[in-house]
Amino acid sequence: MADYKGRMAGFRGEKSLGFYLSMLSNSKYLIFHGLRLLYREYYFQMDFFLLCSAFGIVLEVKNMSGELSFEKEQNQATCKRNGNEERIKNPVLQAKLQARKLKNWLREHNCPDFPILYFFINSNDRTIIRTEIRNEQITQHICNSKNLLEKIDQIEKYYKVEKLNKKELNKIKRLLLTNHTPDNPDILKTYHLSPNDIQTGVQCPESCSIPMVYKRGKWNCPKCNAQSNNAHIHAIHDYFLLIKPWITKTEFCQFLHIDSPHIGLKLLKSMNLPITGKFKTQVYHQTTISSSGYEKRIMQR
């Protein structure tokens, strides 16, 4: 279960970073989350990629607790927790590698050259990070979520030259999004869970309780009385992640606890998912990956 916990910590880290990133100017920055691209037969995935007209930044996000140490000599990283010290993959080098792959990928797709920077963000404030002196090659690429905006301010002052015009930015955006290939990890298989371990129903965005009830065109929470028009969207993304990357009309109604097939179809159609098949065999396919916190659905056993 250690890996599962690591995954959950990762999701939490990305969520808290999302809060700081939301304060960046929308008109200036394009923010990509979980971009996964094919490069020379292998996929690589970036937690976040920020792009503006002057530069791009790749962010590798971890939510590690304990004490992280970076050694200069072998570029080793270790993590000390509860008295145990363990060697870990150096997250700064991971970020560097992703940035290099992205640079090559963009070059092979005939994009103009622009600087791509990289950072390892540790989103756990209580973590102690130790580095050896004169190890700037590593330390200048480490940051916590709170300092990220300040770091970006500094970068803006240094990288002022516009490298990409509006048209080129849009071209890169389209290129990245059309080539993004969501990874559906087989979570159930990996953690030896069965579909019965998954709690169905729509989750309340306010109190997080499951399920909400669909009444008079709205999702209603019996626990806290919150209402929502679109709470089912997260539920369906959870379904795609946990069960399979497509869904039928019947499965949709079952998962969301909707009795009326008519209402179910209306909600399903409103999601504008790509459809294949005809009539009764129609299936609706996953479009984007979303880490809405599906881990809450895995029942405690």
Q: How far is the CB of 296 from Zn ion (least distance, A)?
A: 13
Q: What CA–CA distance (Å, rounded) separates 241 from 63? A: 21
Q: How far is the CB of 235 from Zn ion (least distance, A)?
A: 14
Q: Which is nearer to Zn ion, 109 or 223 (CB)?
A: 223
Rounded to the nearest 10 degrees, the angle between the axes of helix 2-21 and helix 145-158 is: 50
Q: Which is nearer to Zn ion, 100 or 218 (CB)?
A: 218
Q: Is 61 in the site for Zn ion (CB under 5 A)?
A: no
Number of residues lying near Zn ion (CB under 5 A):
7
| Per-residue contact flags (x/-) with Zn ion for residues 198 to 237, judged by CB under 5 A | ------x-xx-------------x-xx-x-----------
Q: Long-range CB contacts (< 8 A, 24+ apart) of 211-220?
A: 211/256, 211/257, 213/257, 214/256, 214/257, 214/258, 214/263
Q: Is 67 in the site for Zn ion (CB under 5 A)?
A: no
What are the two backbone dihedrals, phi and then psi, of residue 120, each rounded to the nearest 5 degrees?
-95, 120
Q: What CA–CA distance (Å, rounded) separates 152 from 145? A: 11
- The three-state secondary structure class of 195 is helix
Q: Is 164 in the site for Zn ion (CB under 5 A)?
A: no
Q: Is 28 in the site for Zn ion (CB under 5 A)?
A: no
Q: Which is nearer to Zn ion, 81 or 223 (CB)?
A: 223
DSSP label at 113? Answer: P
- For Zn ion, the binding residues (CB under 5 A) are 204, 206-207, 221, 223-224, 226
